[in-house]
Amino acid sequence: MLSIKPAHRIHQLHVEWFLSKRRIPDTTAGPGSLVLKSMPSVYGSGTTSFHLFTPGDSASSPYKHPLIIQMDGDGENNNTNIAGYSPAYYASNGNPMRFYNATYGRYSTFYILVPHQYNSVNAFWSTSYVKDMLAWAKASLPNVDTTQIYVTGLHYGGGGVYSIIADSIKYANVFAAAAAMVGIRNVSNDALLSNIRDSHLPLWVWQATNDDHVYTRNSNIAILTYQQAHYSASTPQVRFTLPNYGGLVGTWIYCYDTGHAYNSVDSSYFGSSSGASYFNNPNVYEWFLSKRRTGSGSRMMTQVKPGDPVAAMDDPQQFILLNPNPLLSGQQGYIIFNSRASGVGRTQLINTNGSVLYTRPFNLAKGFNRIGINTANLSSGTYLIIVYDTSLHPKTLKLIIN
C-alpha cells in the first residue's frame, strides 16, 4: 500500500476539508490504480521516477481520458512520497477522479502523472521532469486526450508550473489549463505573463493571505499587480483566489478538494470585500475539464472573471474545516462553517464503536460560525462529529485525538 507522508516538512498543518454534493451523482468508474514507475530521462540526466494513476475505466471507457501532471513541494523533494490532499493523494485513497467534463457534456476520469524530483541543492523544479512526463505519456498512454492535458503543482511544485509555462510557447501550448498553489517561483513576470497571453493559457493561482511562509516572502501577489499594470488587455487573465485562512498547506487542501468547499476570500484586489464568500463550484478538476486546447488557443467553456467569488450555493451549509485537527486530549478545537440562516443546530460526537458520547445544541448566526469542540476526557483515537444545521441537514467530520 502506498504510504502517504506529511505534505510539508516545515508546516505540519493538519486540516480536513470535507466533500459536499457533486453536480450529478456518478459512480460509473471504480477506484483506479497508483503505481511507481521509472523511465530514462529524455530531457534531463539519469532516470526519472514517477507515479502513474490509471483510472478504473481506462480499459472499458469508449472515450479518451484527460491527464493531470502534478508537481509536489519540498517535503517531497529527494523521495518518492506524494503530497497529502493532492490529486494523486485522493486517487490513492479510492477516489475515482471522475468529474463532469463541460467540454464534452459527459463525465471523464483523469490519468495522473506525478514526477519525483531529486535535487540536493534546492527544491526548484527543472522543466525536464514535465517534459519527460509528456514524452512518456505520448509513447505509453494512447488513450489520453491530448487536447485536455493539465499541469498543477503545490508550493515549489507551483513554481514548477510557472517554469514550464515560461519555458517556451511550445510547452505553454501543450496545456489546456494550469493551476498553481502557493507557488514559489524563479521566473520573471514578463516571461510568465507573455507566454500566457500568447498561448491563451488559463492559469488559476491560489494563495492564502495568512500564509507567512510564501505570501510574505514570494511574489504571487506581484503576478496579480503586474498583470493589472502591464497585461490588463491579455486574454485570458490569470485567475486568482486568495483564501483568508488555511495557511500554506490549507491552500491546496481547499483547492484540491474533490467536492465544492466554501471559504472566505480576499477579493479586495478586484474592488470587492476582503472577506467575500466563495463557493468553489466548479472545483479545480471541473474547471480544468471546462478547458480544451484547440490549436494555439484554449477554448474556455466556463467564463469566470479572475478573483470573483461564485455566489451560488446548492447546499444550505458548506462546512469548511475542523481546526486544528488532530487535537491533543483537552485541547480546544473548532468547527468553522457558513450558515445561510440563524437558528439552533446541534453536534454529536461518536466513537469508532458507534456510541454517541454527547449531543449538544448550539446557536447559529447567519454567515460564518465557529463552534467549540469539547475534547476533555477523550482518549487517543479517531472520532466522528456529526453537525446538524438549522434544517437538520447533517455533515460528518472526522476528528483525530493524539
CB 207 within 8 A of CB 148: no
Q: What domains are there in the chain, each with its CATH number?
A: 33-300 (3.40.50.1820), 317-401 (2.60.40.1930)
Average pLDDT over residues 64-73: 95
Pinpoint the alpha helices (H) of 40-176: 87-92, 128-140, 156-167, 169-172
DSSP three-state, residue 100: strand
In angstroms, the Cα distances linking 280 to 7, 49, 202, 263, 296 are 22, 33, 17, 8, 28
Which range, of 8-12, 146-150, 390-394, averages the lowest pLDDT?
Answer: 8-12
The pLDDT tens digits of the residues spanning 213-256 come to 665 555 677 888 888 889 988 888 899 888 887 777 778 888 89
Is 257 or 250 the better-scoring residue by pLDDT? 257
CB 196 within 8 A of CB 172: yes
For residue 282, is the peptide bond before it cis, meaning its omega torsion is within 30 degrees of 0?
Answer: yes
Q: What is the pLDDT of residue 49?
A: 95
The pLDDT tens digits of the residues spanning 176-198 come to 999 998 888 888 889 999 999 99
Phi, psi angles (nearest 5°) of residue 204: -115, 120
Q: What is the pLDDT of residue 286?
A: 93
d(CA 182, CA 221): 10
Q: Is the pLDDT of residue 313 over 60?
A: no
Average pLDDT over residues 14-41: 60
Give the gyration radius of the chain's Cα atoms.
21
Which range, of 253-257, 313-317, 319-323, 362-366, averages the lowest pLDDT?
Answer: 313-317
Q: What is the pLDDT of residue 56?
A: 94
The DSSP string of 234-247 is -SSPPEEE-BSSSH
182 grid coordinates: 502557493
For residue 190, give the H/E element and its range: helix 189-199
